[in-house]
Each structure stands twice: as C-alpha cells, then as structure tokens.
Amino acid sequence: APRIAEWWFARQAEKIGLMSKGDIDLLMVGDSITHNYENEKVGLKVWEKYFVPLNAINLGFGGDCTEHVLWRLDHLPVLKKAPKGAVVLIGTNNICWGSDTPKQAAEGVQAIARKLKDVYPDMEVLVLGVFPRRRNLDHPHRKQINELNAYLPELLKTLKGVKFLDIGPAFLDENGFLSEEMMPDTTHPSEKGHEVWAEAIAPELKKMLSE
C-alpha cells in the first residue's frame, strides 16, 4: 500500500527518474535508517565513500513499513540490465510503531525478498536483521526485534540467491547495551554507526557485486 504523503510520492517519482536512466548495480532498500545515507549530518559522507563507487541507488523512505516497500517496488521501472545486488533492511516500523506481530513483520520482509527475486531472478539479495533499538536489553522493542530476526533465516532459506546477515551486535557494547555513540537516539545510526554498518557488509557486497 502507498502512504498518502506528498513528500513520499515526490521521492518515489525521483527514484523512478533515476531508475529510468538505468545502469544501477546495487539497490539499497529500506526505511529512514537507509534514507539517512542521504543526510549530510549522518550518512552522506559514508554513502559517498562506500556506495557511490558501487553504483548504488538509495531506496530508503523514512517511516516505511514492509507493505509500503512492496508497493514502491511494484511501481518502479524494471531495469533492462538487472542490478547485481540488493540490500534490504526493513521491519522496525512494522512492530515498534505498527501493529504487526514480529512474525507478520518477518513475513513482510520475506515478501520483499521474494518480490526482488521475481523481478530480477539472477540478482543476489542480502537481507539484514533489523537493527537493535533502545539502550536496555529488556525494552519491549528490543525483544520484538530479536523475535522478528529469529524468524528470518527459516523464512528466507528457500529463496535462491537470498542471504540473511545480522550485524546488530556491531552496535552493542560488551554488555549488550546499545552504543550511544553509534545510535544517539536509540534507533538511527550516527555517522559512526553508518560507517560501522557499511564496513560490516562490505565483504558481502564485494562478493555479490563481483560475480
């Protein structure tokens, strides 16, 4: 389903324009956490360092749930030359602010991976575990995210060319508390957090994009 917001449709139109030009190797699919790679204060330098050389497009839209991403993917031009890879990070808004159960949210993530493979059968898809939220280990959001991520390996294992990777521990300290330096608002990575994220997936992207 689409979101009824002017900025959202304007951003979708902008992405349609970029996709129409073709020649994209990597799709970065997600919500505000991915969207923030365009934010000069937190992610843009990291994007320019790690993802511009990979010929990536940012398909992150702040506030999106899995159903919004599915609609967006349905309403993008299909590239004649298929991208080599896609990274998917989505689901946090389904549970933490939405009404989905962790299992429903995980099934939404599975549907997105399946949709990407339907459109581009030879493309590799890297599904990231939803990043941890909130400082404390016993916060309900943290528990919901752990539950969602626990469903994903099983749900994704039958999809050829789809890999699951949980880099969440990279944002935690030795006691499991969320790093204030990497996620100051307990949800969105800082510039340091974006750098840690980019570094954590760099080996997978190298494999994915060199094939």
**pLDDT given at position 130:** 98
- Measured between alpha carbons, how far is 145 from 129 in angstroms, rounded to an integer? 9
**pLDDT given at position 211:** 66
- The number of distinct structural domains making up the chain is 1
In a domain, 139, yes or no: yes
97, pLDDT greater than 80: no
Q: In 3D, which of 35, 101, 114, 36 has the Cα closest to residue 74?
A: 114
Percentage with pLDDT > 70 across the chain: 100
In a domain, 118, yes or no: yes
What pTM does this model have?
A: 0.96
User: Residue 1 CB: number of other CB atoms within 10 A?
Assistant: 8
In a domain, 123, yes or no: yes
Question: pLDDT, tens digit, for every residue of 124-176?
Answer: 999 999 999 999 889 999 999 999 999 999 999 999 999 999 999 999 999 99
In a domain, 126, yes or no: yes
CATH code of the domain in which 36 resides: 3.40.50.1110
In a domain, 101, yes or no: yes
**CA dihedral of 165, 186, 176, 170, whole degrees rounded to 10:** 40
Mean pLDDT for all residues in the chain: 95
Chain position carrying tokens 């030879």: 122
Is the pLDDT higher at 22 or at 27?
27
- Measured between alpha carbons, how far is 10 from 3 in angstroms, rounded to an integer? 11
User: Residue 114 CB: number of other CB atoms within 10 A?
Assistant: 17
Q: In 3D, which of 139, 127, 125, 126 has the Cα closest to residue 183?
A: 139
**pLDDT given at position 1:** 79
In a domain, 76, yes or no: yes
- Measured between alpha carbons, how far is 167 from 130 in angstroms, rounded to an integer? 9
For residue 19, the enclosing domain spans: 6-210
In a domain, 169, yes or no: yes
**Cα 57 to the chain's mean position, in Å?**
12
25, pLDDT greater than 80: yes
In a domain, 1, yes or no: no
